[in-house]
Amino acid sequence: MKDVEIREIGEIGESGRERVGAIIREVANETVLRHFRALEKAGVREKGPNDFVTLADVECEQALGERLLAAYPGTAVLGEEAVAAEPGLMRRLGEEKPLWVLDPIDGTINFAHGRPGFASIVALIVGGRTEAGWIHDPLAEETVAAVRGHGAWSGGKRLAAAKGVALSRMIGSAYGAGAGNILAERALAESGRIGSVANRLCGGVEYIDFAKGRRHFMLSSRSLPWDHAAGVLIASEAGGIARFLDGSAYDPALSEKRVLVAPDEASWRELQALVVAPEPRGKR
């Protein structure tokens, strides 16, 4: 594979998938794990209510961007923390140049409180479409990755979402509002039709669990690209169904919609019906 420029996504291939995965693991070890349970108060701040950023987020994003650009000249980078400082950078999602979308630490609340349940996420978006994605859990030393049309993989093993699991035995997560203006987590739990709802406060590790068949569904409250572009592709390449809650196809340029992930079409529709409030009579 030529390092000059990614002209066709096919050039990523298996070697590129492993190469990028190695970069993510190295950076996570050098930046994220170095600061885990070693942050001073000055190293943690709130960007907004319950929206934390740490020194490790900043260092990881910078190092990831630098190494990916060095390995793949001709590409561009869009990082969560860079967008927080300069929202106009989101326009890069509409450009043709191959774009690395970075979430240095997904699950920052867990990380900042010294708890497990955080991950580094990288997606490669070309022409507005996610073509490859990586999620790495540095504590568990697990990496899952996918290249469009080539499956989801971890440690040389092809992954598959859990199939044939009854709704009553499914385990998953749900964020945001549900039917009847109550939390989706509560709506699903109180439906009596779901095995259990256990939010891990980190979509990255929840996508890993889904791709490895350990969990069966996930409903997000938003669709920010650094949180979901990689995970939606990985879930889809593992044979699952991942789309917006309204049934439309996932689009990384849309940040305020909700993503629902399930193992198959039937369970996706059942879950959708449990969390989407029916329209009042007389309205269409």
The secondary structure of residue 180, as a DSSP letter, is G
Handedness of CA 157, 101, 49, 254 (dihedral sign): negative
Q: What is the pLDDT of residue 15?
A: 83
Domains of the chain (ranges, CATH numbers): 9-158 (3.30.540.10), 167-275 (3.40.190.80)
Q: What is the pLDDT of residues 93-126, one digit of tens each?
A: 988 899 999 999 999 999 989 999 999 999 999 9
Close Cβ partners of 126 (under 8 Å, ≥ 6 residues apart): 6, 9, 96, 98, 99
The percentage of residues in the chain with a pLDDT greater than 70, rounded to a whole number, is: 89
Of the candidates 21, 60, 64, the residue with the CA atom closest to the CA atom of residue 39: 60
- 1 secondary structure, DSSP code: -
At residue 177, the 3 state secondary structure works out as strand
Q: At 48, is the pLDDT very low, low, confident or very high (cuts 50, 70, 90)?
A: low
Please say whether the beta carbons of 107 and 202 come within 8 A.
yes
pLDDT in tens, 173-218: 999 988 777 899 998 998 999 999 999 999 999 999 999 999 999 9
pLDDT at 27: 98
